[in-house]
Amino acid sequence: MNRFTQALYLLAAGSLAAAELDHTLTAVLKSAGFTGTVGQSLEKKLGRPLNPALADLGRLKFFDPSGGLRNDNACAGCHSPAAGFGDSQPMAIGVLNNGVVGADRSGPRNQRRTPTIVNTTFFPKLMWNGRFFDPSGDPFDSSKGFTFPDPEGTTRFPAKDPAFYHLLVAQAHIPPTELVEVAGFRGTQGTIDPIFDQFDDGRGDAVPPPDKDGFRNEAIRAEVLKRLNGNAQYRRLFGFVFPKVASGGPIDFAMFGQAVAEFEFSMTFADAPIDRFARGQISAMRDSEKRGALLFFGKAGCVSCHAVAGQSNEMFSDFDNHNIGIPQVAPAFSRNTGNVVFDGPNQDEDFGLAQITGKDEDRYKFRTSPLRNVALQPAFFHNGAFTRLPDAIRHHLNVAWSNRYYNPLLGGVAPDLLWRRGPIQPVLAALDPKIKPVDLDSDEFDDLVTFVAGGLLDQRASANGLCAVVPGFVPSGLPVHRFQGCGQ
């Protein structure tokens, strides 16, 4: 063979291999039940087109700190547009923050990392332990109502109530009542002050009263509504969408929930290279991403938890809880670094699902993270124990090894999370049997990372896309946070 025919031969062999790769991946996706069409199904599932005026109202509420009684935190303070609407931090910082969203955000930490709201429209179970869920398994189906932990329980959002037509409408009722997120422990000047003041120890962070009967949550919601109804601009904006408000009736909490949910519906970004490939555009993925996808759906076993079929709505999660041996990091013990009491004898653990079920065997179990747009996150897992995507993936391949050599300092974890580590032995002793050591050579590992990073990324969810929705000002007149990742 001369050089020319050799080159032709190699080219032909290469394209044969490429054709084989496309063929195999197409077949694998098909048998996994992956169609790449979930993003396009939004309006069909909703049964109507999106309502732009309602979504825009939700956008303003999402960025307006007035939904929190302390006036110092909004949804976007934790769900940052520069991080795919997930956390800019390894572990959320809520009330008493410094007004910055990004690497320089400071204030007392809560317990977990903020997950993205992008594509949550398709999640049948919400939160790190799946504690808000739709018993029908379909978040668009309210025929069985929605199940939340007490005090909301199964009755606050009853079955078939037309006001609560989607799981996210119900979910939006919760953040305003979260003391460590936005409400604060003492409330503010409003009517609910007496509720907090009776528990006040004078330090500004009184231990919150128990709320078995929902009294506190409803009192907080009433106060949020009082402020909303006292704002002429919001009344006008809600009036455009809700005839009842236009004719003088009050804005109620379901309306608030519907607006926020509509904004979240509009943040559907599920058209990644893997989706386009599955719809027949074979050039949408690079060869390395295709090889990585084959590993993800095959030898590496990822799809057994990061599922795509049926109720998973092609979100790369089985929406089930598993213990995959994540190192336990906790904020340093001093008054300003944390405002949630962690679990366990030394208050340095997170019991995950067991917080809800009370069962020992559910300890350390967390919901399989949906993986779309995961490359936009600055930190990974429920506590931000890893800050680089390859490290988070490598952890899965050998959990024992990962924990033996885990070093949060080298891993780039924030300084206040370096000092207190919960015990790892009880975590490893209860590891999910599905998480088995997987042997990949370094080329395979690179392909897998390339697939998870690039193959699942819808560019519209990147900072370029999402920073465009940050409002310059909000109807309450309160300052909007400064989003560092948006160049602010």
Residues at the contact surface with ligand HEC, assessed by CB under 6 A: 67, 73, 75, 77-79, 92, 94, 110, 112, 114-115, 117, 120, 123, 126-128, 168, 171-172, 175-176, 181-182, 260, 300-302, 304-306, 322, 324, 326, 366, 368-369, 371, 374, 377, 380-382, 392-393, 396, 432, 434-435, 448, 452
Provide, rounded to whole angstroms, the least separation between the CB of residue 163 and ligand HEC. Answer: 17
Provide, rounded to whole angstroms, the least separation between the CB of residue 397 and ligand HEC. Answer: 6
- State how far the Cα of 44 lies from the Cα of 384, in Å rounded to an integer: 36
Provide, rounded to whole angstroms, the least separation between the CB of residue 386 and ligand HEC. Answer: 8
Nearer to ligand HEC, 175 or 184 (CB): 175
Provide, rounded to whole angstroms, the least separation between the CB of residue 72 and ligand HEC. Answer: 10
Provide, rounded to whole angstroms, the least separation between the CB of residue 437 and ligand HEC. Answer: 11
DSSP 453: I
- State how far the Cα of 281 lies from the Cα of 301, in Å rounded to an integer: 25
Nearer to ligand HEC, 24 or 398 (CB): 398
Provide, rounded to whole angstroms, the least separation between the CB of residue 322 and ligand HEC. Answer: 4
Nearer to ligand HEC, 81 or 94 (CB): 94
Give the H or E element holding residue 125. Answer: strand 125-126
Q: Which residues contact 446 (CB under 8 A, 6 or more apart)?
A: 288
Please give the distance of CA 313 from its chain centroid, rounded to a whole number: 16
Rounded alpha-carbon distances, angstroms, from residue 230 to 173, 236, 475: 19, 11, 11
Nearer to ligand HEC, 23 or 226 (CB): 226
Centre a 10 Å sphere on the Cβ of residue 1 and count the other Cβ atoms it contains.
Answer: 8
DSSP letters, 311-364, are GGTTSS----EE------EE--SSTTTB-SPPBTTTT-B--BTHHHH--GGGTT
Nearer to ligand HEC, 262 or 275 (CB): 262
- State how far the Cα of 79 lies from the Cα of 87, in Å rounded to an integer: 5
Nearer to ligand HEC, 251 or 300 (CB): 300
